[in-house]
């Protein structure tokens, strides 16, 4: 089975988590597998410290890129992947063992999925979620206080010294290379409709194929892996 590999990226607070949750609701587990960069953070003791001694979790080094790429490739090969959930040092959270089942559509999400070349090269479709900086700050504060138990002073310091510089250097430059940019300043409903519609069309086309008909789907989805034409 050849999978359509969709990458979703964007700055912290752009709404990726909510967008992906809404997208998840539109597909069964047999149709869509979602694998997140957030479950591949290195242990706390391996994170870089800034000049103030604050650990910076917003650098490419923060992610175990090798394991991330390896597991994406395993899913593409049709293998089941198991990974312990990363709880962002929240003592109130209990880490679960996650299972990722291969599916016709594999969604890869995270702030560095376009920056990591070995991940980027696997993607059939690149989607960038974008929002204004003031909105991203507010969303980051709400998330980190409620879900990760971070104090407000810590959230604001990290945003100014870690999050924003990382966005400017490692995330924003790839927005121009995205196949689809979804602005989430007020809502992302139409962007959600466009992407889910494309994915449903892909699944319908795939379901109607007979052995040897991969050339037909290549006409509708020329960028999908395994669907290239050799005219």
- Confidence band (pLDDT; 50, 70, 90) for 209? low
In a domain, 219, yes or no: no
Supply the mean pLDDT for the chain.
86
Show the domain range for 157: 4-210
Q: Is 64 exposed, middle or buried (0-12, 13-18, 19+ CB in 10 A)?
A: middle
* Per-residue model confidence (pLDDT) at position 90: 57
In a domain, 186, yes or no: yes
In a domain, 224, yes or no: no
In a domain, 225, yes or no: no
In a domain, 53, yes or no: yes
For the whole model, what pTM was predicted?
A: 0.83
Question: Which of 5-14, 67-76, 147-156, 181-190 comes out lowest in average pLDDT?
Answer: 147-156
Question: Which of 60-64, 89-93, 125-129 comes out lowest in average pLDDT?
Answer: 89-93
Closest CA to 192 of 47, 58, 34, 18: 18
**Distance (Å, whole) CA 212 – CA 54:** 56
In a domain, 193, yes or no: yes
Overall number of domains in the chain: 1
Alpha carbon distances (Å) from 13 to 9, 73, 129: 11, 28, 10
pLDDT one-digit tens code per residue, 27-53:
999 999 999 999 999 988 899 999 999
Residue 197 contacts by C-beta under 8 Å, 6 or more apart in sequence?
none
In a domain, 229, yes or no: no
In a domain, 230, yes or no: no
Using DSSP, state whether 130 is helix, strand or coil. strand
Structure-model confidence comparison of residues 190 and 86, the more confident one: 190
> Is the confidence at residue 67, as pLDDT, over 70?
yes
CATH code of the domain covering residue 131: 3.40.50.300
Instruction: Give Cα 190 distance to the centre of its chain.
Output: 19
């Amino acid at each position: 089975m050849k999978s359509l590999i969709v990458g979703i990226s964007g700055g912290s607070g752009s709404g990726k988590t909510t967008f992906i949750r809404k997208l998840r609701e539109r597909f069964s587990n047999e149709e869509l597998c979602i694998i997140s960069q957030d479950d591949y953070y290195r242990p706390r003791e391996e994170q870089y410290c800034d000049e103030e001694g604050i650990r910076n979790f917003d650098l490419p080094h923060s992610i175990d890129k090798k394991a991330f790429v390896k597991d994406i490739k395993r899913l593409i090969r049709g293998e089941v992947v198991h990974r312990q959930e990363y709880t962002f040092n929240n003592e109130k959270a209990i880490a679960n063992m996650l299972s990722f089942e291969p599916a016709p559509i594999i969604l890869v999400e995270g702030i560095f999925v376009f920056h990591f070349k070995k991940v980027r090269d696997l993607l059939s479709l690149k989607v960038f979620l974008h929002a204004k900086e003031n909105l991203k700050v507010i969303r980051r504060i709400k998330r980190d206080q409620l879900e990760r138990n971070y104090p407000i002073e810590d959230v604001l310091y990290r945003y100014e010294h870690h999050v924003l510089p990382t966005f400017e250097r490692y995330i924003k430059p790839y927005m121009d290379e995205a196949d689809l940019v979804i602005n989430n300043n007020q809502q992302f409903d139409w962007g959600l409709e466009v992407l889910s519609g494309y994915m449903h069309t892909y699944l319908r086309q795939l379901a109607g194929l007979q052995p040897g008909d991969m050339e037909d789907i290549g006409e509708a989805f020329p960028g999908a892996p395994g669907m290239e034409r050799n005219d």
